Amino acid sequence: MNLDNIFAKKEIWEEIECPICDVQEKPSHYRDISSWEYKGVYKLSRCTKCGLIFQTPRIKNQYACLYYQSEKYWGVTLPHFSRRQVETKNNFQRYKQVYKRYQERKPGRMLDVGCGTGEFLDWFKCKGWETVGTDISLKPLVYAKKTLGLEVIHGDLLEIDQRKKTFDLVSTMHVFEHLYEPRKSLKKISTILKDSGELIITIPNHESLGRILFGASWFQYQPGRHIFYYTPDTIKRMLSLCGFEVVDVDYWTKKDSLYSIYQSIRYTFSPKFRKSSEGGIASGDPKLARVKREFSLTYEVSKGVASIITALIFVTEYFFGLSEVITVYAKKA
């Protein structure tokens, strides 16, 4: 399938307004971004009222699946992988702070939106929680169901049928920035969440030091996939608008932040990811950018330097509250 030809069709694109403010005034142009994976220059706009950054025009929702066709899930080939392989992605380390928070909590009923392979959900299941996961991608759900024995639903959050006030906890881990209808999604979550229930949202932080340093090469700029780019302020506004109150914002997202910074360095300096002026890799096949190269002393030294710079940026980000990724905890107001 030639995605470049499909993306060139004007009829599959749509302009959108700020989901927080619904202002009729045209948002101001913020910056152009592109991807090394596919051609195209994408425009990011800023709401003139609240400052939310979002991609417009964006591809219409029914075509969004075109951006999620990879045969890999977080670097693990689907569907030919075992539980051990997924666990090597250090899922526990990734969400360690979340797990600490709920380690001693009385188990209840939980929904994980965009659960993927279900590793995050499985931790709660092992702690006695009654768990349900949803995702628009089918292959990861097959693994979650067959290997982990999880209850999963294939489909969009807005389309699934769940009774009102049935969940004690709803989580969206690296999902909220993908949602086409964030306000409607929060309203749906509010409906199915118990009055005493809690919501967890883990998202990229557009206020991060990495975004400031790397500009258009920031790893979290993923056109077509990431539609909205939140800051602590704009996510709080969105939640408040939908009847939620923020309880806490956690900036200690070590594994995600380190990964984001390191990838941003690669996208900025590595010849493998150099982009053309029209987007897409400058030369060769995008698949070759993922191929491991033979041993090179220069390459190994570069990796070491990049790792040191990554650590320094991470420490600075955390100290000043400018982490790459933040986790937001909220309850119904």
Which residues have C-beta within 8 Å of that of residue 274, sequence separation ≥ 6? 36, 281, 282, 283
Is 3.30.9.10 the CATH classification of the domain at 94-332? no
Say which residue, 272 or 175, is predicted with more confidence: 175
Q: What is the pLDDT of residues 248-293, one digit of tens each?
A: 999 999 999 999 999 999 999 988 888 877 777 766 666 666 666 6
Sign of the CA dihedral running 7, 205, 115, 71: positive
The dihedral formed by the CA atoms of 252, 256, 258 and 263, expressed in degrees to the nearest 10: -150
Q: What is the C-alpha separation between 110 and 172, in angstroms, rounded?
A: 11
| Mean pLDDT, range 184-206, rounded to an integer | 97
User: How far from each other are the two terminal CA atoms of the chain, in whole angstroms?
Assistant: 47
pLDDT number for residue 209: 97
pLDDT number for residue 125: 96
Amino acid at 223: P
pLDDT number for residue 84: 47
Say which residue, 217 or 88, is predicted with more confidence: 217
Q: What is the DSSP letter of 275?
A: B
pLDDT of 116 above 70? yes
pLDDT number for residue 163: 86
pLDDT of 3 above 90? no
On average, the pLDDT of the chain sits at: 88
Which residues have C-beta within 8 Å of that of residue 244, sequence separation ≥ 6? 186, 190, 199, 330, 331, 332, 333
pLDDT number for residue 206: 98
Distance, CA of 177 to chain centre: 6
Q: What is the pLDDT of residues 49-58, one digit of tens each?
A: 999 999 999 9
Q: What is the DSSP letter of 27?
A: P
Reported pTM? 0.91
Sign of the CA dihedral running 251, 254, 256, 257: positive
Give yes or no for a contact between 73 and 117, defined as CB atoms under 8 angstroms apart: yes
| Model confidence band, residue 15 (pLDDT cutoffs 50, 70, 90) | very high
What are the residue boundaries of the structural domains of the chain, listed by start?
Answer: 94-332
Say which residue, 6 or 12, is predicted with more confidence: 12
| Model confidence band, residue 139 (pLDDT cutoffs 50, 70, 90) | confident
Residue 107, by phi and psi: left (phi above 0), alpha (psi -120 to 50) or beta? beta
pLDDT number for residue 71: 53
